Amino acid sequence: MDYAYKLIDSPVGQLTLVARGDKLAAILWENDRAGRVRLGEMTSDEQRPVLLAAAGQLEEYFAGKRTGFDVPLSFDGTDFQKQVWAALLTIPYGQTRTYLQIARQLGNEKAVRAVGAANGRNPISIIAPCHRVIGAGGELTGFAGGLHAKKLLLAIEGISTEGRDAGDTIDPRRKAQHRRREDPNQLSLL
């Protein structure tokens, strides 16, 4: 199947929209890690309808005029990855979920790390909102587009990210647990 792409400028940098046939297959970041999303050979196609529709909907989203997307999607991955990506699509605009919540939604709370790995390989960023997934203590965690992009996307949706950098937590008990891991000799009253 052929892959076609279109470049668009956005508040989070240049994005590469990729179509496979008449469905959106990927949204790649300007400085995306090579191989994060596996795609075949691509050709530029500025007029492919699904790419034009995705570009228009993303523009509306960035302008705060769109809270959901309706372009046809084509996810390519393992069955488990597809389950995680489908779960991402259920996270409402303006809300977040933790990796554990997604694992529980899939019926296996022990799959937290696997959920994180699948989230990191989400090929259709923004539309399948992996930016809405946060750490258990409310902290922002790794993001293919960079934490600055994650913060901006969450801000567009009205989600405060103050004090939520990677490693920063909201719950002081989790901070104490983190400190104990760094210094196992530290005593705690928890």
Give catalytic residues, as residue numbers: 130
Nearest to 5 by CA among 34, 53, 47, 60: 47
* Euclidean distance between CA atoms 35 and 15, whole angstroms: 16
* Euclidean distance between CA atoms 90 and 35, whole angstroms: 26
Three-class DSSP category at 165: coil
* Euclidean distance between CA atoms 153 and 94, whole angstroms: 10
- Dihedral sign for Cα atoms in the order 139, 145, 151, 153: negative
Nearest to 167 by CA among 143, 137, 122: 137
